[in-house]
Amino acid sequence: MESSSTVPIPYPVGVWRVLLRAPLLAYRLGLGSLLNAAHLMILTTRGRKSGQPRFTPIEYRRHGSKIYLVSGWGEQPQWYKNLLTDPLATVQLGGQRHSVLADRVTDPAEALRALSLFRRVAPGRYDAVLGRLVESDVNAHTLPELSDQFTVMRLDIIPDEPALPGVVADLIWLWPVVVGAFVLVSLTRSGRSGRGESV
């Protein structure tokens, strides 16, 4: 059922792209566990042209040793194209890194199970987002017939040592600097207000 109220999500460019990559900074600041609690991980793929590691923050759902990703832009994202070229990747879930093998989900029943994992947390919100991805009204009743229209990737965790690096928490040293600056500003302001009251 086509809906005139659904508008596809535009491919991220400019500021929108920068905002979507902000979780990389949070991981570098040592906040990986907090982001992992919100189901945001870092996917490291090998660039299909450069061969260099490419880091992508992305929402995921896990079911046992399987991790599912849903592409918001079909086959356009670079991470998706990279995985088709080289399915061996690394995922970073908080402080844990795992080696994974990627495979596109082509079975509509498996795609439906993966999509249901996303919907479980907040069905109304995810129905709205999923509806924009396929430009149709999505709900528990329509999702089974639409599940084959989504680009879903399955990452199978394998026991190998990760071949690609994760994001390093190399900016964790900024926390003492920020706290110290905050304390210094607070002390300076309280000193000024104290002198003002004594006059």
Cβ contact 98:40 at 8 Å: no
Residue 136 lies in a domain: yes
- Domain span including residue 182: 172-199
Burial bucket for residue 143 (CB in 10 Å: 0-12, 13-18, 19+): buried
Distance CA 93, CA 194 (A): 48
The 3 state secondary structure assigned to 8-25 is CCCCCCHHHHHHHCHHHH
Residue 1 lies in a domain: no
Residue 18 lies in a domain: yes
Distance CA 109, CA 148 (A): 8
Look-up of token digits 């110290």: 180
Residue 111 lies in a domain: yes
Are residues 161 and 191 part of one domain?
no
Cβ contact 150:16 at 8 Å: no
Are residues 155 and 62 part of one domain?
yes
Residue 159 lies in a domain: yes
Residue 34 lies in a domain: yes
Are residues 110 and 192 part of one domain?
no
Are residues 86 and 54 part of one domain?
yes
CA-closest candidate to residue 97, choices 165, 40, 144? 165
| Cα–Cα separations (whole angstroms), residue 143 to 45, 105, 128, 160 | 30, 16, 12, 35
Are residues 186 and 163 part of one domain?
no
Are residues 160 and 178 part of one domain?
no
User: For residue 185, what pLDDT band results from cuts at 50, 70 and 90?
Assistant: confident
CATH of the domain at 160: 2.30.110.10
- pLDDT for residue 4: 39
Residue 153 has pLDDT above 60, yes or no: yes
Are residues 80 and 129 part of one domain?
yes
Are residues 132 and 188 part of one domain?
no
Residue 2 lies in a domain: no
DSSP E strands, 119-197 = 152-158
Neighbours of 190 (CB within 10 A): 10
Residue 2 has pLDDT above 70, yes or no: no
- pLDDT for residue 97: 95
Model pLDDT for residues 109-121, shown as the tens digit of each residue: 999 999 999 999 8
Are residues 62 and 75 part of one domain?
yes
Mean pLDDT of the chain: 88
Could you tell me which residue, 29 or 195, shows the higher pLDDT? 29
Are residues 185 and 122 part of one domain?
no
Are residues 42 and 96 part of one domain?
yes
Question: Taking CA 118 as the corner, what is the angle to CA 136 and CA 161, rounded to the nearest 5 degrees?
Answer: 130
Residue 5 has pLDDT above 50, yes or no: no
Residue 4 lies in a domain: no
Are residues 118 and 149 part of one domain?
yes
Counting the structural domains of the chain, the total is: 2
Model pLDDT for residues 125-142, shown as the tens digit of each residue: 899 999 988 888 999 999
Residue 42 has pLDDT above 50, yes or no: yes
